[in-house]
Amino acid sequence: MKEGKTGSGMIRIAVPVETRKGLSSPLSEHLGMCPYFLICDLEAGKVKELKTRSNPGAKVEVRMGLEAARFLIDQDVDVVLVFSMGEGPYWMLKSNSVRMYKILRAPGTKEEFEHDLENYEELPEIIK
């Protein structure tokens, strides 16, 4: 597992979600339009902390994805797990050393969601 930006061995992962229900939240299909981000801190491959934050990009009419990407960068996110995103947010995140992985399925249970978080490196990395 790669080390996060803090250098502490912790990795911060963001996932676009539809509700504030933690690991029970349904995944959102698009980075810029999601109402919330589930932000997860992983340490030694295990979930240590979960928090849900409102997506400021969802409140603007244009460049939603760029606003969302700026927010994630400000949150010191190391990894984003996403179904889809636009070119602008992709390049902004990439230029700030944020790795992006494609979610292949919506997890059906809390356990599947936690498994995907803890094993995100098994997902395909998004490279454009």
Mean pLDDT along residues 13-38: 91
**Sheet of strand 10-17, all strands in order from the earlier edge strand to the far edge:** 46-54, 36-43, 10-17, 79-82, 99-102
Which of 40-44, 71-75, 98-102, 114-118 has the lowest average pLDDT? 114-118
Angle formed at CA 16 by CA 8 and CA 22, multiple of 5 degrees? 75
DSSP lists the bridge partners of residue 27 as: 17
- Tell which residue, 112, 123, 126, has the closest CA to residue 25: 112
Which of 9-18, 46-55, 59-68, 109-118 has the lowest average pLDDT? 109-118
Confidence at 104, pLDDT banded by 50, 70, 90: confident
Q: What is the pLDDT of residue 1?
A: 46
Confidence at 6, pLDDT banded by 50, 70, 90: low
- Spell out the domains of the chain, with CATH numbers in brackets: 10-122 (3.30.420.130)
Q: With a cut of 70, say whether residue 127 has pLDDT above it.
A: no
